[in-house]
Amino acid sequence: MRRAGLILVALLLAGCAGMGTGSDTAGVAELKNTSGQSVGTARFTQAGNVVRILLEGTGLPPGSHAVHVHAVGKCDPPDFTSAGPHFNPTGKQHGALNPQGSHAGDLPNITVAPDGNGRMETTTEQLSLGSGPTSVWDADGSALIVHASPDDFKTDPTGNAGARIACGVLVKTPVR
């Protein structure tokens, strides 16, 4: 009986070990506006080959705004151009509606209420928190940008998203 119990425990532990994220890190980006004020947080987690992104914004302008992962982990104000172009390791064109698209960094729009609060939750298989060509942890890192206008999901290279109004450098955090 004791041996059967030990075997059962070993099988349960092995099964739980197989439920990991496929990555030993998660990520967070603390978003700041062009004045350096905190305007939100984006959390990145991975389960299997799917990355979940949860963006919670505060103090953003009301309306619909494009959200993209950008290729460089730098957020120099006032225009955040230091974050480079959209994260695009596979060399695609922009937008989910573009037959040649989409960039790995193309994400849904966030809708911000009149009180300045907004929430965007999505998943993608085009990014990775592990290693390899689609990893956001490449040599120069990655950043999350909120734009002034909504993304039209088709116009290359930016989706007519307008100015960069908030930026956060993606940093590794331990998986919880």
What does 33-56 look like in DSSP terms, one character per residue?
ETTS-EEEEEEEEEETTEEEEEEE
140 is catalytic: no
CATH code for the domain of 167: 2.60.40.200
106 is catalytic: yes
pLDDT number for residue 1: 44
In the block, which residue shows the tokens 């949860």?
54
User: Whole-model pTM?
Assistant: 0.85
Task: Assess if residue 3 is contained within a domain.
Answer: no
Number of separate domains in the chain: 1
* Residue range of the domain that includes 38: 21-174
Q: Give the tens place of pLDDT for each residue, 98-127.
A: 888 799 999 999 999 999 999 999 999 999
Which one is catalytic: 52, 103, 115, 119? 103
